[in-house]
Structure 1
Amino acid sequence: RFYIRNFKESTDASGNEIYYSFKKDGKIDWDFVPAEITDQEFKSQKHRHQWMLPQAKAYRVKQDEKYFQSWMDVYSDWLKTFPCPKEGIVDKDNVQWYGLQPAERVLSQIDILPYFIQSTNFTPEWLSIFLTAFADEVECTRKNYFTDGSNIYVTQVQAVTTAGMLMPEFKNSTEWLTEGSQKISEQVTAQFLADGVQVELDPSYHIGVVDGFYNIYKLAMLNNKLDLFPSNYIELLKKASRFVMDIIYPNYTIDNFNDTRSSSYSKSVILKNLKKYMEMFPEDEEIRWMATEGNQGTKPANLVQVYDAAGYYMLRSGWEKDAAMMILKNNKNTDNKWHCQPDNGTFGLYHNGRNFCPDAGVYSYGGTSSSNADRAAFAATAMHNTMTRNKKDIAKGYMNGRLLLQESKSNMDILVTENQSYSDLTHRRAVFFIRDKKTFILVDEGYGTGSTPTVNLNFKLCPNKNDVVIDDESTNYQYGAHTIFADDNNMLFKTFVETTEGYAAENNTAYVSEKLGEKTHQRRFYQVNITKPANGAARFITVIYPFKKEADLEKLNINAKFTDNTEENAGTFHPNGASVEVNIGEEKYELSYTL
């Protein structure tokens, strides 16, 4: 059963957190819920348990029995409505007892018990009901482990281990602890690829999994149980911790890659996690620098980070807030992980505190025909900064991103990646980053033999459509856009093509979602389309150039062309590399790479 949201605000004892109250059967039920929780999140059975703890804390502060009585009434009613299944194995239709639900209830009930146990109304009879239900939930979790190696499995094992460690009075607690600690010890390596990225390739679930492993270790340390875990347990989390440090932008924000909801990862949340990593790795001066906002430790030295097993790549001019940074995402997702979107080749772009190309986000986890359609719309390949074939999605089985080259010169970093996105079309993207100018040059090639599809190059620009002006020079086969912020922090995008058959360019608007169920921003995008030569490549050059004011652009001539083909053989693909010439005002760049 669901509560009906009653938008009545209240505050906690310190007066600085707003909660919502709820109605059940016409009666206000003070089951406190953080204000940032959306209706969609509240109505999902998935996270209901998390909102019991604020109520328990409110009881501890105010010592008002109505909080305890409300919890007891609601939970006892829930147990009657959704009794623990006795058949053992639970299928996904039994949502109250499937997957995360019982595991998360185990963890939350361990947290709330010390608060509510102080109540004079916590009778022996209610204690018996509570403990019986608790044991049922642990056993149900054990009988229904996920076998896909996902973050859900980690939470299930964490719940069983925690129950065994903190509730030793149960007759099965030793079995819980032994089984849970063994599985945790296995998963601390199995959950991560060779480069340290969590196997589901989603930054938010990555952060959650690392946090789960940290919490178990801290719990074991406080309870003198570290002998249950391998001696190198913490060291195995080093790469995973540094990935979080590397994938956040210099202003401590994170992009919406895959199913990450960036609104849930505020600066304070990011810093909270970084401080845990600093505690785990006190000798790492770079993690310390990040965790203390540069007040301690040593500023990270490397400006390029490569996570090749997962397919995440970072190029940056520095680590300070005013730096430029690009994150290119070209995931190796041959197992079709559910949280990974079909957007290989896309990128996020940050400059001086602003995200100029925020990822579209997730919006919905699906479950109904309409919400499944919403999920598909936001995950669509064309909703990202990458190449499509006839505007279609990259299909399952075609997400196997490859790193072809990464090299750095005195003032330039070069990154070349590739993905066979369709049966007859492979997308190769080369990025030339001119560090001192904070300028990115993209060379995109869609190649294949024997077919002539329309190849689309897509660029989704910064959050609000009114901040972007489209630059339509399609009569000269040039197209792009620029931003018009008043704070002297702007970006120009300009795309050139080598062949012009089938040339067309268009622009429109699309949404960004930073929170489930919320269309946070409506932004502009543009798309440049050409017909691929039958046995060659659709080839594009895009200049991404930072500038201050629009007046600066009026006197700035920008041109780009390929220099490895003549007019007669335009559209020829060269497997071993590419070369281009780019002119930006008085600056001339002759750029090339060789594999």
Structure 2
Amino acid sequence: MKAANSVPLADESLLVGDFDGYSWDALLAYFQDRTHVNYFPISKGATKHVADAEYILANEFEFNNEKYKLGESFDWQTNPSKDLEWLILLHKFYCLKDLAGAYDYTQDERYAVKWMGLIDSWISQVPDGFIDSQVTGRRLQQWLLSYHTFVSKWHSQTISPAFLGRFMCSVNSQTHYLCAHLTPEGNHRTLELYAIFLVAATFPELSSAHWFLEFSKQKLLENMRQDLLLDGVHRELSTDYHHTVLKNYLRFRGLASLNQIDLPTTCDVLLKQAIEFSYYVHKPDGFIPAINDGDCNSYLPLLKKTHSYYPDAHLQYIISKGEEGVPPAQRSRGFTDSGYYVLRSDWSVKPYGDALYLFFDCAPLGFGSHGHYDALNFEMAAYGHSLVVDPGRYTYSEISEDGINWRKYFKGSSAH
């Protein structure tokens, strides 16, 4: 695989010793052909991706209902919007999903050219850590997920050896930055750790990969112990955010399982406790009560995914709404560390959705800013209907056209 008259390896310390002297031509061929690194299946490309990717080819980007057409060689650090969040979303590179999806659907090399061009222009203009660490974490995830489509799956002929070198050097540099500048706590820290873990799993050939892996595993366990109360409930005490956190942690478990990476045993113990709260908190209709900030969502698809990692007859019963598996031994559960109590009629009620359900909130305000003033609040459901509900967050905005601060209202006691 070595080539004497090819693009030189820019920095031999970037990769482990087995790759000393390899050219980037040889390395590109290696990364296209390797089979020992696994990743989550990427959604198949569709016509929607093609339609959206056409706007990206023209440098038209839309975030938060604001669309701007940027110049052919635009400045990544100039924000066309008054809203900083617009620039943040641009730097997170969510647009790469559409380019990868469009390429997967068509194999049109225009999308590969644009993929390289956007990443290359960002590398040439923007220093590591621009804006904040969680943006770096999101960007790394999007870069690597789309990399799998263009390089690993389709072996795009547009991808040049020189670009691969710049790409890997930047990924390595951004990951080192992220390790040194983790958000102190919370969901952003979790996604940043997952980005580090993803880099280590995707590129074990990096000389820093083993260190990235051990660092992210150690910090993951510390984060889980800090995030989850002893009864398995997330400390922000939002039923919705509990599942966001659970989803983030399950990404670690899933990627580790795919690549035969061992996680600390305690991680699995903590995850199982968080999963148990999830299946008790779901109402008979398959939705969760919107306690504190959050919305009334169903996380049964997420629980179905957890079952593949942690097979459990009780969990299967919840997922299938009583059609398969074994009913949980307890009808009702108290989660005493969080102050949440779930009461229900017998699990054997048919149809499953007709069971009686009560969620009783005896919890404190919760960590962070997502708590509502809802002491002794409750939700009640019976015979397939939610009878008394918590309205949830409704909005995060404190400004409305009618002059009413609905954010303040829905956090207040009178809304409960």
Please report the TM-score for the alignment, with normalisation by the length of structure 1: 0.52
Q: Tell me, what secondary structure is at the counterpart of 1:321?
A: helix
1:436-462 C-alpha deviation (Å, 9 max, x unpaired): xxxxxxxxxxxxxxxxxxxxxxxxxxx
Q: 8 Å contact 1:322–1:353 — kept in the other structure?
A: yes
Q: State the match for 2:415 in structure 1.
A: 383
1:288–1:54 distance in 2 versus 1, CA, 3 Å: farther
| Higher share of residues assigned strand | 1
Could you say which residue in structure 1 is the equivalent of 2:88? 45
Q: Partners of 1:23 and 1:225 in 2: how far apart?
A: 39
1:125 equivalent in structure 2 = 162
Give the aligned partner of residue 113 of structure 2. 69
Matched with 2:104 is 60
Q: Which residue of 1 aligns with 2:334?
A: 306
- Tell me, in whole angstroms, the C-alpha distance in 1 between the residues paired with 2:198 and 2:384: 40
Give the length in aligned residue pairs: 349
Q: Which has the larger radius of gyration?
A: 1
State the match for 2:381 in structure 1.
Answer: 350
Q: Which amino acid aligns with 1:236?
A: L
| Cα distance between partner residues in 1 of 2:111 and 2:62 | 9
TM-score of the aligned structures, taking structure 2 as reference length: 0.72
Report if the CA contact (8 A) 2:291-2:392 is conserved: yes
Q: Report the Cα distance in structure 2 between the residues aligned to 1:14 and 1:165, rounded to whole angstroms.
A: 28
351-360 or 313-322: which moved more?
351-360
Aligned AA (2:276): R
Runs of 4+ in 1 over 6 A off after TM superposition: 15-19, 37-42, 367-372
Question: What CA distance in whole angstroms lies between the structure 1 residues aligned with 2:282 and 2:346?
Answer: 13
Structural RMSD (CA): 3.6
Which residue of the other structure, out of 232, 239, 248, is the alignment partner of 2:273? 239
Asked if the contact 1:59/1:65 (under 8 Å) is kept, the reply is yes
* The one of 159, 171, 176 aligned to 1:134: 171
State yes or no: 1:194 paired with 2:230. Answer: yes
Determine if contact 1:347/1:357 at 8 Å carries over to the other structure: yes
1:25-52 deviation digits (Å, cap 9, x = unpaired): 9x465x799xxx8779984735954452
Among candidates 281, 300, 307, match of residue 278 of structure 1 = 307
Q: Distance in 2 between matches of 1:125 and 1:367?
A: 49
2:106 partner letter = K
Quick check: 1:323 aligned with 2:320? no
2:295 pairs, out of 250, 253, 261, with: 261
Q: 2:364: which partner in 1? A: 332
What residue number does 1:106 align with? 140
Change in Cα spacing, 1:260 to 1:364, as seen in structure 2 (3 Å) is same
Q: How far does the alpha carbon of each residue in 1:41-68 deviate from its partner, in whole angstroms, 9 at most, with x for none?
A: 9847359544523431331221112322
| Per-residue deviation, 1:240 | 0.7
Distance in 1, matches of 2:410 and 2:325, equals: 40
Could you say what secondary structure the match of 1:234 adopts? Answer: helix
Pair 192,59 (structure 1): closer, same or farther in 2 beyond 3 Å:
same
CA gap 1:134/1:302 in 2 versus in 1, 3 angstroms: same
Q: CA deviation at 1:167?
A: 1.1
1:341 paired residue among 366, 372, 378:
372
Q: CA deviation at 1:14?
A: 5.6
| Residue identity (%) | 23
CA contact (8 A) 1:32 1:54 kept: no
Structure 1 residues 252 and 159, CA gap change in structure 2 (3 angstroms): same
Q: 1:317 offset after TM fit, Å?
A: 2.5
Q: Distance in 1 between matches of 2:412 and 2:54?
A: 36
Could you say which structure has the greater relative contact order, defined with CA pairs below 8 angstroms and 6 or more residues apart? 2
How do 1:116-515 residues align onto structure 2 when only pairs under 5 Å count?
A: 116-117=150-151, 118-148=155-185, 150-226=186-262, 229-262=263-296, 265-266=297-298, 270-282=299-311, 284-319=312-347, 320-333=352-365, 336-365=367-396, 373-384=405-416
Alignment of 1:11-50 (within 5 A): 23=55, 27=58, 29=60, 43=86, 45=88, 48-50=92-94
Task: Give 1:316's aligned amino acid.
Answer: R
1:196 is displaced (CA, Å) by: 0.6
Deviation at 1:102, TM superposition (A): 1.0
Do the aligned partners of 1:105 and 1:137 also contact (CA within 8 Å) in 2? no
Is the CA contact 1:19–1:32 (under 8 Å) kept in the aligned structure 2?
no
Change (3 A) 1:13 1:239: closer
* Matched residue, 1:393: none
Structure 1: 5+ residue runs without aligned partners? Answer: 1-11, 86-95, 385-595
Which is worse superposed, 188-197 or 96-105?
96-105
Deviations, residues 326-346 of structure 1 (Å, cap 9, x unaligned) = 212232236x42222222222
Q: Is the 8 A contact 1:21 1:32 kept in 2?
A: no
Distance 2:356 2:47 in 1: 39
1:304–1:16 Cα change, 3 Å: farther
Q: In 2, distance between residues paired with 1:247 and 1:327?
A: 8
The answer on whether the counterparts of 1:32 and 1:55 sit within 8 Å (CA) in structure 2 is no
Give the unaligned 5+ runs of structure 2. 1-43, 67-82
**Partner-residue secondary structure (3-state), 2:342:** strand
Q: Deviation per CA, 1:486-525, whole angstroms, max 9, x where unpaired? A: xxxxxxxxxxxxxxxxxxxxxxxxxxxxxxxxxxxxxxxx
